[in-house]
Amino acid sequence: MEKEVRWGMVVDLRRCVGCHACQVACKAEHEVPLGVWRIWVKVIQKGYYPEMAAVSLPWDCPYCERPEEARYPRMQTLFLPWLCNHCERPICNTVCPVGAAYKRKDGIVLIDPHRCIGCNYCRAACPYNVRFANPITGMIQKCDFCVHRVDAGLPPACVEACPTNAMVFGNLRDPSSKVSQLISKEKVQVLKQIMATFPQVYYIGLDKDVADPLKGWEKHFYHKEYERL
Amino acid sequence: MEVQVLYNVFHHEAVSLLIAIYFHIVGLHAGCSIVSITATLLGKTEYKPVAKIGAIFVIILFSISPIFLLTDLFQPLRFWYLFLHFNPTSPLSWGTFFLCAYPTFTGIYIYFLFKNNVKWSKIFGVISLPFAISVHGYTGFVLGFAKARVLWNTAVMPSYFLCSAMISGMAFMLIVALIRYRFTYKDKTVEEREKDLHIIDLLAKWMAGFMILNVFYVFSDITVMYYHTEDAFETVELVRLGKFSFLYIWVDNVLGNIIPSLIIIFKKTRKSHLLLLIAAILASIGVFVMRYVMVFGGQYVPLS
Ligand code: SF4
Ligand code: SF4
């Protein structure tokens, strides 16, 4: 008898250095167009300093006035790779009117590109904002755990690209797999447990401020940088 | 302690303005047909014109509403997949069913109404009434089932949407009835004029009733959200104080509900047709603004 498979992921945030390699690898693997992402690394800074500043920013931070004072240990930078959680009870599947969003037996949530009518309802219902409409083809897409690679026995592209092995992918039903061991030994957390979608992407060392979408959004939600995206 | 987001991704809005317009038009024709059917079922001859005016606008509005729905799809040529695959847990699937059943039965009802066949128009009126209610009621469930957005995911949503649909339908018919009276009253006898005025009066009173119900829904929705989760709290702050406060509180509720209902409640102002017309126009604007705020206010709070 074939052993039951349930794919899942553990992201060890203690190891994540915020290099965005997963994000880039995913872009390359799936030819994701500009402005949309299947996985991204959310970065926040928190600390006790009124004018917090950028330590390792890819662009010049407009809020940065006294960068020399806003440094460790007064503050810290937190990273959070954010991707589709391949939920146990995916609301996106529940609400899809044509059954184009579906869940495979092994737990991977997919979209049937030949059936999806692009009604966007799944995008409105997913609590994690991970679905997007491909600006070129108009298809609804999201992270699919690199299903073509997984079926061929390879790990997803992001997992393979991660230089610190912070992302671990494996079979949650297999007690000897690394994900199961991490979940049973470490203190894990999922995103937005309150939504009752039962995510299958687990995080070790998740900080409440980086997991909270509302933190710091007053200033940033309509930040010019994001307006262009 | 301060928290600053340095990098995050926000995907574009899922529900567009087209859908807000669609909700409004569906509300309009559902409201019109509910009024029309009720007038027929009550069976008084003086309600006949109301029933007929309503029926005509149902046909016109219903024929334009699917355009908005289809143009919003990213794969519009695949719309017929909705008929092939039925998903009982998706309100959009229910909507497909209602959007097919509703014109069928209402069409037959309208046919008998214009044939002056009282018995059959009543029978088909009874059959199409639940469809008229559900064809708008499902849109409330569409928003209500999107569990990501707290502004939508509330139990009052379907009834709130139905209530505002009734307001927009009645306001629309009130405008039409007022214009009709203005252009035809010269050729009418005093008795006929009395009847027309009675209908206008009745429509206005019912509209005021639904407006008061609507304000109650808004009140209970907002106050319950204050005792809810963090997301709900932020959302209601947004609606009350933030970006949408002017539109929602002032344009929708004060100008669109409270002032028109006050105009209708006081007998003196109700007798003035100009004020009634203004009340009806304000109410229509208010309902559209409510749809707009629901769709965009719900999506304004970030999820990631
Ligand atoms: S994270 Fe969103 S898109 Fe992914 S399975 Fe869950 S509900 Fe669906
Ligand atoms: S956009 Fe496609 S996958 Fe999403 S709910 Fe509509 S049909 Fe289903």
Whether residue A61 lies within 8 A of chain B, CB to CB, comes out as yes
Positive/negative CA dihedral, A63, A35, A217, A39: negative
Give B42's pLDDT tier (boundaries 50, 70, 90): confident
Average confidence (pLDDT) over B228-253: 85
Per-residue model confidence as pLDDT tens digits over B143-165: 999 999 999 999 999 999 999 99
Contacts of A97 in chain B (CB under 8 A): 82, 85, 87, 90, 92-93, 95-96
Residue A174 to residue A73: CA distance in whole angstroms: 41
| 3-class secondary structure, A110 | strand
Any idea where the domains of chain B sit in the sequence? Answer: 14-145, 174-304
Per-residue model confidence as pLDDT tens digits over B82-98: 999 999 999 999 999 99
Residues linked to residue A12 through DSSP beta bridges, in sequence order = A204
What pLDDT sits at residue A24? 96
Asked if residue A126 has its Cβ within 6 Å of ligand 1, the reply is: yes
Q: How far is A50 from chain B (nearest CA, A)?
A: 7
What pLDDT sits at residue A228? 44
Of the residues A102, A109, A120, A126, which should be mutated to test ligand 2's pocket, given the most ligand atoms within 8 Å of the CB?
A120
CATH class of B14-145: mainly alpha
Average confidence (pLDDT) over B31-59: 85
What pLDDT sits at residue A225? 42
DSSP H or E segment with residue A185: helix A178-185
Asked if residue A96 has its Cβ within 6 Å of ligand 2, the reply is: yes
What pLDDT sits at residue A1? 43
What pLDDT sits at residue A203? 96
What pLDDT sits at residue B52? 84
- Using alpha carbons, list the distances in angstroms from residue B198 to B168, B171, B178, B195: 20, 16, 12, 5
Query: Under 8 Å CB-to-CB from B143, ≥6 apart: which residues?
Result: B149, B152, B153, B157, B161, B294, B295, B298
Residue B51 to residue B28: CA distance in whole angstroms: 15
Residue A12 to residue A182: CA distance in whole angstroms: 9
Q: How far is A208 from chain B (nearest CA, A)?
A: 11
Contact A115 B92 (CB under 8 A): no
Asked if residue A124 has its Cβ within 6 Å of ligand 2, the reply is: no
Interface test with B, best of A89, A120, A197, A207 (most B CBs within 10 A): A120
Asked if residue A85 has its Cβ within 6 Å of ligand 1, the reply is: yes
Q: How far is A101 from chain B (nearest CA, A)?
A: 11
Q: How many CB pairs under 8 A join A and B?
A: 180
Give B215's pLDDT tier (boundaries 50, 70, 90): very high
Per-residue model confidence as pLDDT tens digits over A138-197: 899 999 999 999 999 999 999 999 999 999 999 999 999 999 999 999 999 999 998 999
Instruction: Name the E strands within chain A.
Output: 7-12, 40-47, 75-82, 101-103, 109-111, 132-133, 140-141, 167-171, 188-189, 201-204
Using a pLDDT cut of 70, give the percent of chain B over it.
100
pTM, full prediction: 0.89
Tell me the fold of A7-227: Alpha-Beta Plaits (3.30.70)
What pLDDT sits at residue A3? 66
* Window 84-123 of A, Cβ < 8 Å to B: 91, 94-100, 115-121, 123
Contact B4 A45 (CB under 8 A): yes
Q: Which residue's CA is the closest to the ligand 1 atom numbered 5?
A: A86
Encoded tokens for B41: 């079922």
B33 vs A74, residue with greater confidence: B33
What pLDDT sits at residue B7? 87
Any idea where the domains of chain A sit in the sequence? Answer: 7-227
Contact A127 B7 (CB under 8 A): no
Average confidence (pLDDT) over A109-131: 94
The answer to whether A197 and A91 are in contact (CB under 8 A) is yes
Residues linked to residue A103 through DSSP beta bridges, in sequence order = A109
DSSP state of B156: T
Exposure of A213 in the CB half-sphere (CA atoms within 13 A) = 22
Residue B103 to residue B60: CA distance in whole angstroms: 11
Per-residue model confidence as pLDDT tens digits over B173-207: 999 889 988 888 888 888 888 888 888 998 999 99
Closest C-alpha among A29, A40, A38, A24 to residue A81: A40
Per-residue model confidence as pLDDT tens digits over A13-71: 999 999 999 999 999 999 999 989 999 999 988 876 544 444 444 444 545 555 555 55
